[in-house]
Structure 1
Amino acid sequence: MELRIINILKIIFLSLAISVGEKSYAYVKGQIREKPVDIVTAPEKFIFLHTLNPCDWGFSPIATSGKEMFYRLTLDEPMNMTFLTLGSDICCAEISIFGSNGNITRSVPAQDYQYILKEDGRWNDSYSYFEGQDCFIANGLAPGTYWITVQGIKGGNSSATNGPVRMTVIGYNFDNIDYGIIAPDSIPGTRQCPFDIGRLNSGFTTTVEKSKTDMPPSVTEMFFRLELTEPMSLLFDFNESDYEISLFNSSQSQVTVIKSGSSTESSEIDFESGSYLLWARFLPSSENDVLTFSITGKTEDAPKPERPDNPSPGNPTTIGKNYITTRTYLSADCSDYRDETLYADGLGRISQRILAAGSPAGGDLVWRYSYDTSGRQTHEWLPGVSSSTDGSYASLSQIDYSIYNGDKAPYSLTEYEASPLNRPKKQYGPGEEWHTSGNAVSYDYETSRSTSGNLSCFIYTADATADSRSADVTIRCMGRYGSGELLAERVTDEDGREVITFTDALGRKVLERRPVGDGIYADTYFVYDIYDNLTAVLPPEASACMAHTGIWNSSTSSDLRDYCFLYRYDGFRRKIGHRVPGCGETEFVYDSADRPVIWRDGNMKGAGRWGFRIYDIFGRETISGTCASWSGSLSIPVRSQPCGLTSDIPLSASCLSLYGYDIYGIELTDPVVNTVNYYDDYSFIGSNGVLGESHLGFASVGNGVEPYPSAKGMHTGRLTAVPVSTVSDSTEYLASAFYYDYRERLIQSVSANHLGGFDRESTEYDFVGNPVCTELIHTTATDCVGVRQRWVREFDRHGRELSVTHYLGDGTPILLCRRGYDSLGRISEESAGDGASEALVNEYAYDIRSRAVAVSSGRYSQRLDFTPGGNV
C-alpha cells in the first residue's frame, strides 16, 4: 500500500516538473509551412502585396535553416505567375516554389530583372531596383496548390541584415496581358522585339515618332524593323533632338550611320531589297525626350501611281498576329486594289475578318469571332466599323457598333453541352432582345422509346431486289423501335416550334416529327431498302393512315399511290423511277456512262413518247427531244460528235445524224428535236438550217471589246424549237450565238426572235467583272434598224451598285435608280429620276439582323414587324 502511494507521488512530481519545464509557443501566419500566408487571387489577372518582418519572430531572416517565410497559392486555372521581393530591406531574398511533387525550379538570376508595365500603358519608374533582389517567373503554372518560401541571403544598399521582406505576386492568364511582368525579350522597341515600320514599296512616306517614356526607365536605345520589297533610295529627315541612328542588315552587320548628334540635315542612301534593323539612341546631351524622323522611298524607273480614291491599304502592321490577306486588284496596272484579311490566333482559329476600307463610311468592316476553352466558337459578332482603313487588327475600342442603336448583344452566341461531342445546346441570334428573353434555338438530345409517346417510332422497311424493274413498291410496318435504338434530336426554334428528328445507327434519318396540337404529331417517315436506298417518303397524311403493323403495295394501296413519294433503283443503285403523290411514275434509262439518256413521265407514257438527251464525249448535253421509241443495248456510252469527225466508235455501231451531230449507241424512231447546243467554235453558223454570218456573226458596238479568237470549251450556240401556231404541231428553230472575251465572260449574244428579227445584247465589264454597260438592239422582219437601249451602271470599290442610267436610242438619259448605303453596306436610300420629287425617294431602316423593318417616302410608308423566328 505504501509502495503504491510512493509510485503515485513520483508520477505527479514528474508531471509537474515537465509542465514547469515546457514553454508554450503560438506560431503566426507565414512562420511555418502548416500556417502559411494565403495569396489572394482573382480570375484573369491580379496583384497581391504583402510584408513580413521576421524580426518580430525573434530572428534575422538571413539564410539559416528554419528561418524561411511561407506563402500558399491556390490556382483554379492556368496562369502566368511572377513573384518579386522588390523594395525589401533585405537585398537578395531567395524565392523557391513547391508543389505536390516537390521543388519546381529555382528562381531566375538576379540580374535578369523584369520591367513592370502599369494598366495605363506607361512604364513604372517608382520602384528601386536593388541589385540582387530576387524575381521568380513561372509561366503557364497549372491549376493546383503551391507553397512559396522566401529567405533572406544578405543585406542591401544599407547592408541591412534585419528588416521586412516585401512580397509582390502578379498573375494573369493568356488572354489578359494589359499589364504585368514583361520579359526583356518581349518589350516593344528592343532588339528582340523591335517596332515594326512595315513592308515598304517604292513611293512610300512614313513618319516615326517615339518618346523616352515608350521604353522602360534608364533604357535610352530603340530598335525598328523595316523591309524593302525592291532596291530603292531612302531619304531620312530628322528633328532637332540629340540622337544617333544606324542601320543594320539581316545578318546584324552595320550598314551605315545615318545620323549622329543634333544635325537635322536630310540623308539619302541607296539600299538593296531585304530586311533591315534601325538602331536609335538618345545622346546624354539630349534635352528633348521625343525622337522624330521620316523616311521616303523612291526609285527612278518605277514611280508609284496616283491613287486618289484608294485608301492605300497595305499589309497589316499589327505585331505578333498571324494573318492571311487576299488582294483583289481593281485595275490592270495593279495601282488600285482591295484587301480582305483573316487574322488567326496562336491555335490557327480565325479571330477577325477585316475588309479594308469596306465601309461606305470610310473605315474597315470588322467581323470578330470568340472561342471557349475547348476551342469551340461561341461568339460571332456582327460587322462593326473600325477607325482604321488599312486592314490592321482592330482592338475592341477601335470598333464602332453604334449603328445597332446601342444594342448590347450585336453577336450570335452558341452554348454547348458539357460533353466531348461538341454538340450545341442553345444558339442565340444577334440582338439583346433575343438574349434577355431567352428566344434561342435550343437542342435536346434524347433516344427513342418503345412505348407510345412523342419519342416512339415505327419500323418501316421496303422490299427490293438487286434490279428492281417492277413498278411496284412494297412497304412493311414491323412494329416500333426499341428504347435507345434511335437518336432523337429535338430542335425548338425562336418561335417555340419544335421538330424531333430520329436517326438510326447508320446515320439515316428515319422520322421527322412536328407537334401540331396537344398530343397530335405530323410525322414524315423515310423508308430504306436493304441496299440503303431511299425507297419511300411517307408524308404526315400517309403515316397517319399507315401507323400500325401491316403491308402495303403500290399497285393495290391507294394510300401509297396518292400520298407517298416512291423510288426504284437498278443494280447499280441508279434511280430508274420515281413517283410523286397523285402522278404517274417517271422512268429513267441510263447508258454505260451512268447518264440518263432516255426518260418519260406519266403524260408522255400516255402519249406514247419518250424523252431523250444526247451528250458529247465531255459529258455536255448536245441534243434533247422526244421520240416514239428507241432501241439499243446501251452497252457503250451514248454520245454525239460533230459530223465529219473521225470517230473511235466501232464502225458497226449505229449512227444517226441530227443538226450537225452524228449520234452513236442508240436508235431513235420519229425523233423530234427540242434543243441543240454547240460548243468550241462557230462552224455551225450557216449550216444545218442555221442562219449565216450576216445574222449571227459578232457585231462591234463601239466599246472596243472584241471576242477572243478561241472559244474552246465554251457554249457557242443553240437551236431552240418554238411552235409556229397553237392550231398545228409545226415548229421552227430559233438560233442563238454566244461570244466571249479572253476572260471567258459573255460579251455578246445574238438570238433570232419570233418576229423575224434579232435581239443582240452586248455587255461591257470593268476590270473586276462588274457589268458597267449593257446594250440591247431589237429588230423585226420589217424594221432592220430596230430599237437600241443602253443601261449604264456605276459600282463602288466593293461591287455595290450606286446608280443605273437608261438610254433609249440617242434620247436624253434617264436616271432609273441611285442608291446610298449605310456604314455596313446596306441600302439606306434609293431614288429615281433627278431626285427632286420627294415621292421618288425611298428610305430604308433595318433591325439588328439587317431585316428591312421600314420603308418610307414622301407619299407612303410601310413598316414590317417580325416574330422572333423571322416571320412577318
Structure 2
Amino acid sequence: MLLLVVILSIICARAFSQQANVSLSSYSGQSEIMASQSITLLPGVSIPSGSNVRIYISGAAAYCVPLAAAPSVNQNYILTNTVKVPGIIDEAGLANRSTCEISQTIQYFDGLGRPLQTVQTKGSPLLNDIVQPFEYDAFGREAKKYLPYVDATGNGSYKNIVPGTTVGSFYAAPNPSTLAANIARTGYPFAETQFEASPLNRVKQQGAAGEAWQLLNTSITESGHTIKTEYGTNAANEVKLWTVKTDGTGATATFYEPNQFYKTTLTDENGNKTIEYKDKEGKVVLKQAEGGLQTQYVYDDFGNLRYVIPPAVTATSITENDVTFNELIYAYHYDGRQRVVEKKIPAKGWEFIVYNKLDQVVLTQDAVQRNKAADEWLFTKYDALGRVVMTGLYKDGGNITVLTSNVKRIELQARVDTLSKVWESRPTGDYSNNSFPTSIADTYTVNYYDNYAFTGNPFGAQTGTQSLMTRSLLTGTKVKVLDGGSTYLWTVNFYDKEGRVIQSKSTNYLSGQDVVDNTYDFPGQLQLTKRTHTVSGKAPLEITTRYEYDHMGRRIDTYEKIGSASEVLLASYKYNELGQQIKKQLHSENNGSSYLQAVDYAYNIRGWLKSSTAPKFSMSLKYEDAATAYKQYNGNIGEMNYTGPSSGAKNFQYSYDKLNRLTNAVSTGNLLNETLTYDVMGNIKSLNRTGTGYGNTTYEYLKNGMNSNQLQSTAGNIIASYGYDVNGNLLTDSKKGITLAYNYLNLPNVITGTQNITYIYDAAGRKLRRIEAGKNNDYVNGIHYEQSGTLAFIQTEEGRAIPNGSSYIYEYNLSDHLGNVRVSLDKDPSTGTARVIQEDEYYAFGLRKGITSSSGNRYLYNGKELQESLGQYDYGARFYDPALGRWNAVDPLAEKMRRHSPYNYCFDNPIRFIDPDGMEPTPRQAAAMAAHVYGDKDDKILKGGWKVSQREFGITKNSTNGLKSQVYERTSKGITEYVYATAGTEDGTDAKHDGIQPLGISSQYKLSMSNAKKISDELGGKIELTFTGHSLGGGEAVANAYATGRNAITFNAAGVTGFTSKANNLSRIDAYIMKTDPLNAIQNNVFWLPNVNGIKHYVEPPDLPSLYNGHSIDNMLKAFYIYPSDYIKSK
C-alpha cells in the first residue's frame, strides 16, 4: 500500500511576489506590490494617506521557471508545497506554478516509514534537484550518513540510486560537471558511525565525510581521525568524594569507591581525550582534560551544585573566602526553596539575589554596589505575565563593611516575602509602582507592551496599515543615558499583522530621531529597510538598503542608497549547486555589469573555509592537508597563507598543545612569530613575539602567595603592574599609566592618565559617545560623528560610506576567516579601479602591525573598534588587550566555561575562535520553532530569520523511542546562532503522557540530552545555543539546558526530575505557561510530580478553557499572535 500525502503550506502576508501580471481592484494594506511584466490598478483602487507601499516591476528572473514537478507515484511520499505568492488557497491553485511562486520538497519513505530520500525540487541555483539520500544497516540504523548531491532531472522524482555509488560519483569526479562545480572532492562523501555490539547501540566511533575522517582502514590514506567514545566506570581513588561542611562554608574530600560513576572517555579527531564522570542521576561530578586537568563539581544533599573546583585547585578541602577560594572557585548558596541566592565567580566578590513569591529575581547586588555608602541594588519589576517592565537602582541605606556579609540580603528577602503585590499593572499611562521596590533611586529601563497608551510616548499610536493587534508585543522602551543627567532614549515599535516590526521610531543622543521602515516580501524576507536619521541642527539623512533573493530565499544582491546620491549595488552573491556561497562581488554602479572587486570562496568536504581569494587580498587555510608537523583534524587551523598588496605572500604554521591552545605561530621570515606557554587555567605565562620592539614577556599571577587568574605584573618586553576592583575589572595599568572607573554594567566610563577618556553609554550598554582631547565622537547605531558634530562615516554591510560633498565614497573591507580586516579599498577616482587605502597585519592574538593607512579605519581585529590611545579593542561587553592577549574584565559567560580563566581570550585559540555578541531567540520566535518541530507547520511559521539548519552534528534527531527534534539557525551580522527544539508526543494528548517521566520512562530524555551535549560541544562556548520545546519537548529542553549549562525557553513544559534535574541549576529557563494548562495544574497539586522548571511566565488563554486549548502549542502560538491555521500543512 502506497502512502501519498500532499501538504499545502499557505501563509498570509502583505506582499505580492514574482507574478507576471498583477491587477488590483482594491488595496488591502500590502506593503509591496510587484510583478515581472505589468501592474494594473483598476478604477476604484484607493490607497490611504500615510500608507507605506512600494509598487514596482521586478523583471523576470532567470530562476523563475515552471516548477513542472513529477513526483514518483510508485513510492510512498509526503509532498510539501510552500506558497510564496498570495491567491493560492487550495490544491487546485498549485497547478502550473513557477519556482518563484512555489517551493517544493518531497520526502520518500520505505514500507517501514523510514525516510529514503528528501528531494528539493529545482532547489539548486541552476534549478536542479537537491537530493538527500538515506541508507540503513541490517539493524535499521543509519550507520552511514551521506552528503546531499544534485540531480539534473529537476522534477522532484524519486531517484532510483544506490547512495554509495551515485553520491560517490558526484563527489569523486576529478573533473566535476557543472552540477558539482566548486564543490569539494572526496571519494568518501559520508559520515560512518560504529555502534557498540550490544542492545544499547551506543556510538563507539563517529566519522565524518572525507578520507581523513573515515573509520580506520589501511586502504584509506590518513583514515582513523574519528571521534571515539569509550564507556566504563570509575576506579578506586579516581573521583573525589566532596562533602559540604555542615555550616555550609566549605567542603572536604575523600575518594569514592570504585564503580560508582558512569565514565565516558571522548577522544577527538586529533587524539585529545576528555573524560567525564556522571553519577546515577546524570549529574557531572568530574571532567578531566588532557594532562590530568580536573574540574570537579560538588553538590549538596539536595543535589544542588555548590562548588565548581577548577584544575588549579588540588587541595582536599576548601574554605569559603580564603585566598584560593576567592580567586579560583565557583560557589553557590541556596535558600529553602532551592533558589540560588548568593553566587561567587572567581576574581569577583559575592553576588546576592532576592526573589519575590513567584521566584522572579527582583534584586541583585555585586560587590562594588555593596561597598557603596548607600548599599545599592539593581531591581527588576514584572507585569502579571512575567514580562520585565522596569529595571533600575534601589538604595537601602548604610553600607556593609564586610563585603561577604549577607545580613542585608537576608533582611531584604524576609521583607519581600511578606509582600502580596508582586507585579505592575498598566492599562494606560505608566506603571502602578505596586511591587517592590516602591522607593526607587533611579530608573534605567522601562518596557511597554500591548498598546501605545503609555506616558511620555513621543511618537503616538498606530497609523495607516500598522496593526492594531499588538497584545503581547513590545510596543515601546525607554532607556536612560548614563551621563549623570535625566535623558532617556525612546524606541517605539509598530507591527504588521504577522507581528513583524514594520516601523521603529527612536530618539537619539544627538537630540534627533531615527525612523526605520521595513518592507517584507510574501514569504517574510526583509526586502527593504529605509532609515531616516536626524540630529539637531542638520538636514535629515535617508539611508535605504534593499535586498533581492533567488527562488529559494538565498540573498543574491544588496543595494544601498544614501540621500540623493545614486543607488549602489553594494554586494552580489553567487552559490554552488548545494547552496554554499562561492563568490561575493563588491560595488557596482551599473547594476552588476562590472564590479570593483570579487571575492571567491572555497570549502573542504567538512564545510570548513579553505580559501578566500580576491585581487587585493587572498587567503588559504590548511587543516588535515597542512605540513606533517602541523596537521589538524579537529577544526584547528594548521597553516594559513595570505597575500596582501604591500605585505606580499606570507605563510603561517600553527602548533597546539593537547588542550587545543595555541603554542606556536611561525611566519615567513619569522616576522610575526608568537610562542606561548600557559598555566593549568589557560592564563598566559609567557609570550614571545618577534619583530622590532618586541620580545619575551612573562606573566605573574601569584596573589598573596597563592594562585590567581588576575594578572598581577609582567616582566621582560612589557614591564607593568596591574590592579583590580572587587568585581574583577582592571583598575590600574602602570605600563599605560592609566586608572579606570566603571559604571554599573562593568563598562569603563572614565579613564584617567596621560590621556583622559570619557565614555557615555545608555543603560542597555550601547556606547553613545567617546570624549577624548576635548572632542566628542558620537555613535548612533552605525552612524559616526567626529570632531564634535561632523559626520565621519556610515557603516555598511561591507565597510563604510564616507561623505564627499553631496555624494559618498564607499570603502570595502576584505577580511580573513575571523573577520579581521586585512585590506580596505575604494574606487580610484582617476582609473575607476580598486584602490588600496589601508592594509593591516596581525599577530595571532590580535596585535596590529599596520602596513599602510590612509583610511583611518579603526574597526579592525574581529571587526571591533580599536581604542587607539589605549591600544585595546572594544567588544561591547568588555575591552581586550591584544598586547597581553587578555581581557580587562571577567567574562560575563564565565559560568559556561569553568575550566578556563575568566580572563582568557577565545580559549587561547585565536586562530580558530572569535568572541561574538550572542543573541538568543525571543519567546515568540522560540514558540514558532517549538511548534514547527512537530512537523505539521510550514517553514513560514519561523520568525526572526530562523530556519532549519543543514548542520547534522552527528545526532539522531528522530528515534523510535519517540524523540522528535530539529536544529535551527540564523545568521545576524556574520554570526550564526542555533536553537535545538524538541517536540512533545501528540499535541493535545501530551498532558497525559508527560506524567510518565517521573516514573522512569526516560530514554527519550537521555537521547535528547545526548544530542544537546553533542551540539553544545561541537559549537563550543562562544557560539549561542538555546533549547526550546513544548510539553514533553519542553521538559527535554530543560534537561538539555541542565546538561549543557545553556539556556532554554519552554511552553507548557513537563516538569523534570530524577536523573534529568539539577545537573546544572544555573541555566536560565524561561517557562511560558498557559494559565488554563491542565498539565501545570496537575504538576502543582500532585506531590510526586515535578513542578515546571525555571522562571515562570503565565500567559492569558486566547480561547475558551479545555484540555486541548489549555495545553496545546497551537493555543500558545495564538497568545503570541501567531495563527497556526495560516501555516498548517494541509493533507
* TM-score normalised per structure 2: 0.44
Instruction: Tell me what 1:641 maps to.
Output: 425
AA aligned to 1:640 is E
Q: Does the aligned pair in 1 maintain the 2:512–2:536 contact within 8 Å?
A: yes
Cα distance between partner residues in 1 of 2:501 and 2:440 = 36
CA distance in 2, matches of 1:361, 1:377: 30
Look up the SS of the partner of 2:143 in the other structure.
strand
Residue identity opposite 1:493 in structure 2? D
Q: Which residue of 2 aligns with 1:109?
A: none
In the alignment, which of 195, 206, 231 is matched to residue 416 of structure 1?
195
Partner of 1:627: 394
Give distance in 1, aligned partners of 2:533 and 2:487.
20
Q: Alpha-carbon deviations, 1:111-162, whole Å to 9, x = none? A: xxxxxxxxxxxxxxxxxxxxxxxxxxxxxxxxxxxxxxxxxxxxxxxxxxxx
**Of residues 782, 785, 788 in structure 1, which corresponds to 2:537?**
782
Instruction: Decide whether the 8 Å contact of 2:4 with 2:78 is kept in 1.
Output: no
CA distance in 2, matches of 1:488, 1:198: 46
2:527 is matched by which residue type in structure 1? V
Note the C-alpha offset of 1:315. 6.9
CA distance in 2 between counterparts of 1:386 and 1:438 reads 31
The reply to whether residue 722 of structure 1 matches residue 481 of structure 2 is: yes
Task: Specify the alignment match of 1:40 in structure 2.
Answer: none
Kindly indicate whether structure 1 or structure 2 has the higher relative contact order, using CA contacts under 8 Å at least 6 residues apart: 2
In 1: Cα distance, 2:4 partner to 2:194 partner: 41
Instruction: Give per-residue Cα distances to partners, 1:205-237, cap 9 Å, x unaligned.
Output: xxxxxxxxxxxxxxxxxxxxxxxxxxxxxxxxx
Which of 550, 565, 571 is equivalent to 1:796?
A: 550
Conserved in 2, the CA contact under 8 Å of 1:643 and 1:662? no
Matched, 1:678 2:448: yes
The 2-side partners of 1:642 and 1:405 are apart by: 59
Please name the residue that 2:338 is paired with.
Answer: 573
Residue 561 of structure 2 corresponds to 807
Q: Give secondary structure in 2 for the equivalent of 1:661.
A: coil
Q: Secondary structure at the match of 1:562?
A: helix
Q: Is the Cα–Cα contact under 8 Å of residues 244 and 252 in structure 2 kept in the other structure?
A: yes
Distance 1:573 1:808, change over 3 A: same
Max Rg structure: 1
Q: Which residue of 1 aligns with 2:902?
A: none
Q: Match of 1:458?
A: 240
In 2, Cα distance between the equivalents of 1:200 and 1:410?
Answer: 31
| Superposed counterparts of 1:19-98, under 5 Å | none
Do 2:586 and 2:596's aligned partners in 1 also have CA atoms closer than 8 Å?
no
DSSP 3-state at the match of 2:290 = strand
Deviation at residue 582 of structure 1 after TM alignment: 1.3
Deviation at 1:709, TM superposition (A): 2.3
Determine helix, strand or coil for the equivalent of 1:560. helix
In 2, the alpha carbon distance for the partners of 1:389 and 1:376 equals 30
Structure 2: gaps of 5 or more residues: 9-59, 89-96, 215-219, 397-411, 624-631, 638-1131
Q: Tell me: CA distance 1:507–1:710, structure 2 relative to 1, closer, same or farther (3 Å).
A: closer
Indicate if the aligned counterparts of 1:416 and 1:424 stay in contact, CA closer than 8 A: yes
Matched, 1:759 2:514: yes
Decide which of 245, 249, 258 is 1:473's aligned counterpart.
249
Q: Which amino acid aligns with 1:333?
A: G
Q: Aligned partner of 1:711: which letter?
A: T
Structure having the higher helix fraction is 2
CA distance in 2, matches of 1:343, 1:405: 27
Q: Distance in 1 between matches of 2:278 and 2:337?
A: 25
1:357 equivalent in alignment to 2:122 = yes
User: 1:638·1:663 contact (CA, 8 Å) conserved in 2?
Assistant: no
> SS in structure 1 opposite 2:386?
coil
Letter in 1 for 2:337: F
Q: Does 1:333 align with 2:87?
A: yes
C-alpha displacement of 1:522: 0.4
Pick one of 78, 81, 101 that aligns with 1:324. Answer: 78
Instruction: Give the partner amino acid of 1:393.
Output: Y
In the TM superposition, residue 794 of structure 1 has moved relative to its aligned partner by: 0.4
Deviation at 1:359, TM superposition (A): 1.1
In structure 1, the partner of 2:502 is: 747
CA contact (8 A) 1:411 1:429 kept: yes
Q: Deviation of residue 340 (structure 1)?
A: 2.2
1:691 to 454, 458, 473: 458
1:364 shift after superposition: 1.4
SS at match of 1:561: helix
**1:312 touches 1:390 (CA, 8 Å); kept in 2?**
no
Matched, 1:527 2:298: yes
Alignment partner of 1:859 is 2:616: yes
Q: Secondary structure at the match of 1:586?
A: strand
- Conserved? CA contact 1:612–1:624, under 8 Å: yes
Contact 1:802 1:818 in 2 (8 A): yes
| 1:499-544 Cα distance to aligned partner (Å, 9 max, x none) | 011111222111111122xxxx1000111111011111111112x2
Change (3 A) 1:406 1:805: closer
Which deviates more from structure 2 when the two are superposed, residues 851-860 or residues 315-324?
315-324
The Cα shift of 1:318 comes to 2.2
Mapped pair 1:447 → 2:233 = yes
Q: Which residue number corresponds to residue 731 of structure 2?
A: none
Residue pair 1:417, 1:423 contacting (<8 A) in 2 also:
yes
The 1:840/1:633 distance shift into structure 2, 3 A limit, reads: same
1:387 maps to what in 2? 152
Q: Which amino acid in the other structure matches residue 348 of structure 2?
A: C
| Residues 330, 416 of structure 1: alpha-carbon distance in 2 compared, 3 angstrom cutoff | same
Shift of the 311–570 alpha-carbon distance from structure 1 to 2, 3 Å rule, reads: farther
Aligned residue identity for 2:531: L
Q: 1:318 to 1:625 in 2, by over 3 A?
A: same
Q: Distance in 2 between matches of 1:579 and 1:200?
A: 53
Indicate yes or no: 2:358 matched with 1:593: yes
Tell me what 1:490 maps to: 265
Cα distance 1:678–1:664, how it changes in 2: closer, same or farther (>3 A)?
same
| Structure 1 segments unaligned to the other structure (5+ residues) | 1-191, 202-305, 465-469, 645-658, 701-705
User: Greater strand percent: which structure?
Assistant: 1
SS in 2 for 1:339: strand
Does residue 564 in structure 1 map to residue 329 in structure 2?
A: yes
Going from structure 1 to structure 2, the CA distance change for 1:307 and 1:795 (only over 3 Å counts) comes to closer
Who is 1:617 aligned against?
384
Aligned partner (choices 526, 531, 552) of residue 318 of structure 2: 552
* 1:183-220 per-position Cα deviation (integer Å, ceiling 9, x unaligned): xxxxxxxxx99xx999999xxxxxxxxxxxxxxxxxxx
**CA shift at 1:379, angstroms?**
1.4
Tell me, in whole angstroms, the C-alpha distance in 2 between the residues paired with 1:197 and 1:665: 57
1:68-121 Cα deviation digits (max 9, x unpaired): xxxxxxxxxxxxxxxxxxxxxxxxxxxxxxxxxxxxxxxxxxxxxxxxxxxxxx
Please state whether the residue corresponding to 2:432 is helix, strand or coil: strand
* Cα distance in structure 1, aligned partners of 2:524 and 2:4: 35
In structure 2, relative to structure 1, the CA distance for the partners of 1:406 and 1:754 (3 Å cut) is: closer
Deviation at 1:781, TM superposition (A): 1.9
Q: Distance in 2 between matches of 1:632 and 1:450?
A: 48
Q: Deviations over 1:358-390 (max 9, x none)?
A: 111221111222222222221111121022323
Q: Distance in 1 between matches of 2:125 and 2:569?
A: 22
Distance across 2 between alignment mates of 1:485 and 1:749: 58
Residue in structure 2 matched with residue 214 of structure 1 by the alignment: none
Letter in 1 for 2:256: Y
The equivalent residue for 2:629 is none
Structure-1 separation of matches of 2:110 and 2:551: 29
- The answer (yes or no) to whether the contact 1:596–1:613 under 8 Å persists in 2 is yes
Does structure 2 retain, via aligned residues, the 8 Å contact 1:311–1:357? no
SS in 1 for 2:511: coil
Over the matched positions of the two proteins, sequence identity in percent amounts to 27
SS of 1:324's equivalent? Answer: strand
The code of the aligned residue for 1:718 comes to T
Q: Deviation of residue 710 (structure 1)?
A: 2.7
Query: Once the 2 structures are TM-superposed, how far is the Cα of residue 463 of structure 1 from its aligned partner?
Result: 4.1
| Superposition map of 1:703-718 within 5 A | 706-718=465-477
**TM superposition shift of 1:344:** 2.7
Question: How far apart in 1 are the matches of 2:387 and 2:573?
Answer: 41
Cα distance between partner residues in 2 of 1:318 and 1:473: 70
Distance 1:460 1:579 in 2: 18
- TM-aligned CA deviation for residue 350 of structure 1: 2.5
